[in-house]
Amino acid sequence: MGFLSNLFGGKASADEQPAIETGRAVKASNQAAPSGTILCPVSGIAMDISEVNDPVFAGKAMGDGIAIVPSEGVLVAPISGTVEALFPTGHALAIKDEAGMGVMLHIGIDTVDMKGDGFIARIAQGDRVEAGQILVEFDREKIAAAGFEDTTMMVVTELGSDLSLAKCPAGAVARG
C-alpha cells in the first residue's frame, strides 16, 4: 500500500506495513537533522502510538510511529521534503523526502470534525519544507472546548530500503 493510499484510506495488512529492519536507524532527535533523522514535530509528552485513544492509529493501520500530548500549539516539519497532502481543515498532512521516506502528521483525535476551526496551516500542498519549519499552528483550548483530544500522531508511512525505525523513548520531548 503506497504513501497516499495509507494516508487517505484503506487498511494495510501486516505484510504491507513499512519494513522495520536492521540497518541505518531513523531516530527522533532535537539535534541538527542528519539524513534519515526525524525531528520531533511538537513539544509535549511522547508515548508509543499503540497507546492513543484511536483504534486506527493505535492499531498501526497507517504505519508505526509515536504520539505526543502537546504542551503548545505549534507543529513543525520533522523532515525536509515536499508536502504531499494537506487536509483542507489543516489538522493533518503528509511529507515525503527525496529518498522516499514518508511521514504523516495528525493533530488531535477526531479533530476533522472541527472543520478547520482552530487550525492555521502555514504551508500548502506541494510546498517544499525544511525540517523544523512551522507547518501548522493550532489552538489547544479550542480543541479541548470542542471536546476533542489534541494528542498529535507522527506516523512513518514509508521507509527507505536501508532504513529501520528507532522511536524515541516515552517522556518529555521538545519540537525540533
* Burial class of residue 44 (count of CB atoms within 10 Å of its CB; 0-12, 13-18, 19+): buried
Q: CA-CA distance, 63 to 40, in Å (whole number)?
A: 17
- Rg (alpha carbons) of the chain, rounded to whole number: 15
* 106 annotated active-site: yes
Question: Could you tell me the CA-to-CA distances from 120 to 6, 55, 73, 94, 103 in Å, in that order?
Answer: 24, 26, 10, 16, 20
Query: Three cell numbers at 161?
Result: 530500503
Q: CA-CA distance, 23 to 7, in Å (whole number)?
A: 26
Catalytic residue among 96, 106, 167, 175: 106
User: Which residues are known catalytic residues?
Assistant: 106
